[in-house]
């Protein structure tokens, strides 16, 4: 019975990659391999596991969501990660995006402001066998240079403005992917940082829950 369930989940992941990722233009071998291997159902609440491989966001509690697979794949692909890269993530959530990043990079340093979500993410990542990601609990917009410089950074929540507070901690040529805009809709941007200055490319409209913090939105 357990083996049959495992085979069913593997089939669902392969179908997710085939129909929701490849057909939407995701082509990075590393990203496709990561999302074929990582059990997304382990990162969603148990009552939503039947929807784990649908291409839509799902609530994970505390006014947070796990992003839809195609968005996770797109944001990861835009970072063009290498196996030695050090990545900063703002917004761990349940840890799924963290796990995908960890599969494609060398180290991931993820920050989650909600202690309960951070604890959930640590548990999920350990259960999934992810060993190269660390989860911290604080306001991620008050980032310090303790683990910098980073080769890449990602915001998994909406920022009201470009995250210029991250620029000093990104290596020259490093990339940042972030949803930037209003609470009810944002533009996904790819920022390339050189000499502390960011060059911005727009990559389509998205909608994320807001970043809460010093350089984010006010907590309602």
User: Tens of pLDDT along 55-71?
Assistant: 999 999 999 999 999 99
Query: How far is it, in rounded angstroms, from Cα 142 to Cα 181?
Result: 19
Catalytic residues: 67
pLDDT (tens digit, 9 = 90+) per residue, 20-77? Answer: 999 999 999 999 999 999 999 999 999 999 999 999 999 999 999 999 999 999 999 9
Domains of the chain: 2-206 (3.40.50.150)
Instruction: Provide the pLDDT for residue 6.
Output: 82
Which residue is listed with tokens 């966001």? 57
- Please, which pLDDT band fits residue 174 given cuts at 50, 70 and 90? very high
Q: Is 49 helix (H, G, I), strand (E, B) or coil?
A: helix
Q: Work out the percent of the chain whose per-residue pLDDT is above 70.
A: 99
Closest CA relative to residue 97, chosen from 179, 187, 217 = 179
Query: How far is it, in rounded angstroms, from Cα 118 to Cα 123?
Result: 9
When pLDDT is averaged across residues 90-104 and rounded to a whole number, the result is: 98
Instruction: Provide the pLDDT for residue 1.
Output: 62
């Amino acid at each position: 019975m357990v083996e049959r369930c495992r085979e069913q989940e593997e089939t669902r992941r392969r179908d997710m990659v085939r129909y929701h990722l490849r057909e939407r233009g995701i082509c990075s071998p590393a990203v496709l391999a990561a999302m074929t291997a990582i059990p997304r159902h382990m990162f969603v609440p148990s009552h939503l596991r039947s929807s784990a491989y649908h291409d839509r966001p799902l609530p994970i509690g505390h006014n947070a969501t796990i992003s839809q697979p195609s968005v996770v794949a797109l944001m990861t692909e835009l970072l063009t990660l290498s196996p030695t890269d050090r990545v900063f993530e703002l917004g761990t959530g349940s840890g799924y995006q963290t796990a995908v990043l960890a599969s494609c990079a060398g180290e991931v340093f993820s920050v989650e402001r909600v202690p309960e979500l951070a604890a959930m993410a640590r548990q999920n990542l350990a259960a999934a066998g992810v060993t190269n990601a660390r989860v911290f609990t604080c306001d991620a917009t008050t980032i310090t240079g303790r683990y910098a410089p980073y080769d890449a950074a990602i915001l998994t929540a909406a920022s009201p403005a470009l995250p210029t507070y991250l620029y000093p901690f990104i290596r020259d040529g490093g990339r940042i992917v972030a949803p930037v805009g209003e609470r009810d809709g944002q533009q996904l941007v790819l920022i390339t940082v050189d000499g502390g200055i960011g060059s911005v490319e727009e990559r389509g409209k998205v909608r994320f829950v807001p970043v809460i913090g010093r350089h984010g939105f006010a907590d309602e």
